[in-house]
Amino acid sequence: MRLTVAQALVKFLANQYSERDGVEQRLIPGAFGIFGHGNVAGVGQALLEASVNPADSGEMPYHLARNEQGMVHAAVGFSRMRNRLQALACTASIGPGSTNMLTGAALATTNRIPVLLLPSDVFATRVASPVLQELEQPYGYDVSVNDAFRPLSKFFDRVWRPEQLPAALLGAMRVLTDPAETGAVTIALPQDVQAEAYDWPEELFAKRVWHIARPVPEPAALERAAAIIRGAQRPLLVAGGGVHYSEATAALRAFSEATGIPVGDTQAGKGALLWDHPQAVGGVGATGSPVANALAREADVVIGVGTRYSDFTTASRTAFQRPGVQFVNLNVAGLDAAKHAGEMLVADAREGLDALRAALDGYHAPVTWDATDWNRVVDEAFHLGHQPLPAQTEVLGALNEEMDARDVVVQAAGSMPGDLQMLWRARDAKQYHVEYAYSCMGYEIAGALGIKMAAPDREVFALVGDGSYLMMSSEIVTAVSEGIKLNLVIVQNHGFASIGALSESLGSQRFGTNYRYRDPATGMLSGDKLPVDLAANAESLGARVIRVKTIEEFRAAIATARASDVTTAIHIETDPLAPVPSSESWWDVPVSEVAALDSTQQARKAYEVHKRDQKPLIGGTQP
C-alpha cells in the first residue's frame, strides 16, 4: 500500500487497541494538533484524509488546540481519567511549536501517564539546511531541538527514513501500554520524511491489540511481605495513584476492612478509599492530615501501594520517625518498590492487594486513631466566615459540599493543592484530580478539557488561581470551539498565595510574590494592586462569566454553572492571608545559611531544627 509516512502513521494508530480484564478499546482514540510549515503538509494532510475518508485512512478524530503545552496537558488529563488504558496523540510544527511540548512531556513522564508526542523535525536530506526555526550545533548536523525530548521521554526515536517507521511505532505502542514504564513517548518526524511516499506492507495496518498486563506477586516476596505485616503493631498503608490506575479501589477497601489497617493517601491516591470510610485517615505528609501524620510518625510498618514516595508524602523524609520502621512496597515499577529499603512486592496493585489479603487471613491491626477532632477542624475551615474577603478554604469547602459525588475537581499548583489534600472529602474514586507530581502551573484548564473529553457524563470543575490562569488560559477557546462544557473557578488573590506564604516562612518576606505596581519611591513591586480583570478575559475567550463576592453567592453560582450547557467561569476574590489548618508536618526548602536579614536568620534556625529529624535513609533492617 503506497502512502506517505504521515498517512501510514495515522492509519497505523487508528488500528491500535488496548485490552485489560477482557475490555477492549481504541488505544489512540484521537489527536490534538497545531499546524505549521513543519507538519501541515505531512501529519496535517494525513489527519485531513482521515477526517474526509475514515473508512480508507482510519478514523482519527482531530482537535485543534491553542497551545502546544496545553494540548499535552489535556492529553494527560484524558489518559489519567481513563486509567492509562488510552492515550492521545499530539502533533506540532518544527522548532518552537514542538519545544512548547517539552513541559508537557516532563509532566507526563513524571506522573507516569502515557501520551504520544509527534514533534516535527528538520529536513532529513539537509538539502535546504538551515531551514526556518532550525537550531544549528557546530558539533553535529544530526542534532535538533527535539533531542531535548530524550531525557523527558520513556521512549524516543527519530524517523530519518520511511523504513524506520514500523519499528518506531511498535516500540512506541509497547511503552504506551507498559504500566511500569509508561510516560511521554516521542517520535520525531522530519518534515520532508512526513510527506515522502513508501510501499507499506498491508499487515502494518492490521488491527493489533496490546494486552495490558496485571503482574502477580512472586510467591517468595509475598511470603516475606506478609511476615513483616503480621509482625506489625502499628501499620499504616499509603495509597498512591497506582491504586486508581490498576482499578484497585475495591481491592483496597476489602484489604483494609479485612486487616483493620488504616489507609492514608497521596495527592494521586486521594479517593482510593473514600473519606468517610472507617479506615480512611486522610492525606499523608507535608500537606496531609494530622491524623495520618501522627500514625505515620509511630508506624512500625508502612505499606506503600502504587506510590512513588515523593517528598510531600514523606514530609521530606521526616514523616516516618519510629526507629526500625519497615516498608513493604507494592508497586508495578521496581524503581518505586525498592525505595526506603523496602520489601519489594513488584506486582499490579489489585493483584497484590488481593494476594496480601489472603496471605494475612486472621491478622487484624488495633485501632489507634480517632478522626473526630480533625473532622471538626475541617468543618470550621470550610465555614470560617472570614471577612472582609472569604478564605480560600471556604471556597474549597463550598465547592466540596455543592459538587455531586461524580463531579471532578481539577487542580495542580499554588496553595490550593495543599489545602485540597488536607481538607477535601472525596466521595467518588475519580472525584479528585490534582496533578502534583510536576505541579505545573497552567495544567488546570487544559487538564480539565482532557478529563471532560474522557468522561463527558461528569461535570468537571477546574480550580485555577490567578497565577496559573495567567500562565495558560488558552484552552478555554478549545473547549468553546469543541462544545465541551467546563466549569472554571477563578480564585483571584493578586499574586502567588502559596509561594508568598512559603517565602514568609523562609524569611524572604513575600518578596516577588504579589502582583503590584512598582513603587517609584522604593523601586520595589509593592505599590497598588494591578487592575487585572481575569473575569473579563475569560469572557473574551468565549466563556460565560459569573462574578461573586460572598460564599453564599458562590454556592448559587456553582448550581448555575452546573445547570449551564456552556463553559462557565466563576470569579471570586479571596484573602491570601486567611488562616489554614496545620498538617503538623514539614517540607524541606533550604533557607540561606548566611543572611543580613533578621527574618532569614530566624527562619534558618527553625530550618535547622527540622533538619535534625530528616533521615537520609528510611527503613529498618529486615528480620
Tens of pLDDT along 421-442?
999 999 999 999 999 999 999 9
Length of the chain: 623
Please state, rounded to an integer, the average pLDDT across all residues of the chain. 94
pLDDT of 225 reads 98
Q: Is the pLDDT of residue 620 over 60?
A: no
Give the phi and the psi of residue 622 in degrees, each rounded to 5.
Answer: -70, 145
Q: Is the pLDDT of residue 618 over 80?
A: no
DSSP state, residue 216: P
**Residue 179: cis peptide before it, omega within 30 degrees of 0:** no
pLDDT of 452 reads 98
> Per-residue pLDDT averaged across 18-31, rounded?
98
Question: Reduced to 3 states, what is the DSSP secondary structure of residue 549?
Answer: coil
List beta partners, residue 238.
264, 304
Contact 100, 127 (CB under 8 A): no
Q: Of 74-88, 587-601, 604-618, which has the strongest mean pLDDT?
A: 74-88
> Per-residue pLDDT averaged across 441-460, rounded?
98
C-alpha cell of residue 463: 480550580
Domain spanning 219-370, CATH class: alpha beta
Q: Give Cβ neighbours of residue 358 (< 8 Å, ≥ 6 apart).
A: none
pLDDT of 502 reads 75
CATH number for region 2-211: 3.40.50.970
Give the phi and the psi of residue 251 in degrees, each rounded to 5.
Answer: -65, -40
- Categorize the per-residue pLDDT at 607 as very low, low, confident or very high, splitting at 50, 70 and 90: confident
Q: Where is pLDDT greater, at 597 or 541?
A: 541
Looking at 272-427, list the stretches that DSSP marks H as alpha helix, in order from N- to C-terminal side. Answer: 290-298, 334-337, 349-359, 372-382, 392-402, 416-423
Contact 584, 294 (CB under 8 A): yes
Domain spanning 373-494+530-573, CATH class: alpha beta
Q: How many separate helices (H) and strands (E) can be counted in the chain?
A: 24, 23
Q: Is the pLDDT of residue 622 over 50?
A: no
Helix axes 372-382, 416-423, angle to 10 degrees: 140
Q: Is the pLDDT of residue 623 over 60?
A: no
Rounded CA separation 586/4 (Å): 56
pLDDT of 597 reads 87
- The lowest-confidence range among 173-182, 239-248, 577-586 is 577-586
> Per-residue pLDDT averaged across 360-370, rounded?
94
- Within the chain, which residue ranges are assigned CATH 3.40.50.970? 2-211, 373-494+530-573
Does the global pTM surpass 0.85?
yes
By percentage, how much of the chain surpasses pLDDT 90? Answer: 81
> Per-residue pLDDT averaged across 552-558, rounded?
98
Rounded CA separation 566/484 (Å): 7
Question: Reduced to 3 states, what is the DSSP secondary structure of residue 471?
Answer: helix
| pLDDT per residue as tens digits for the range 147-159 | 999 999 999 999 9
List beta partners, residue 194.
none
- Within the chain, which residue ranges are assigned CATH 3.40.50.1220? 219-370
> Per-residue pLDDT averaged across 223-247, rounded?
98
C-alpha cell of residue 585: 508536618
The region, left, alpha or beta by phi > 0 then psi within -120 to 50, assigned to residue 483 is: left
By percentage, how much of the chain surpasses pLDDT 70? Answer: 99
C-alpha cell of residue 542: 468565549
Nearest to 32 by CA among 102, 100, 116: 116
Residue 610: exposed, middle, or buried by beta-carbon count in 10 A (0-12, 13-18, 19+)?
middle
Helix axes 43-52, 5-13, angle to 10 degrees: 50
C-alpha cell of residue 345: 512486592
Q: Give Cβ neighbours of residue 566 (< 8 Å, ≥ 6 apart).
A: 480, 485, 543, 544
| pLDDT per residue as tens digits for the range 313-364 | 999 999 999 999 999 999 999 999 999 988 999 999 999 999 999 999 999 9
pLDDT of 24 reads 98
Taken in order 67, 68, 69, 74, the sign of the CA dihedral is: positive
Q: What is the dihedral of CA 136, 142, 147, 150, to 10 degrees?
A: -160
Rounded CA separation 230/542 (Å): 58
Alpha carbon of 143 to those of 104, 137, 140, 575: distances in Å? Answer: 21, 7, 6, 49
| pLDDT per residue as tens digits for the range 55-102 | 888 899 999 999 999 999 999 999 999 999 999 999 999 999 999 999
Looking at 413-496, list the stretches that DSSP marks H as alpha helix, in order from N- to C-terminal side. Answer: 416-423, 443-454, 466-471, 475-482
| pLDDT per residue as tens digits for the range 181-210 | 999 999 999 999 999 999 999 999 999 999
Per-residue H/E/C for 175-200: HHCCCCCCCEEEEEEEHHHHCCEEEC
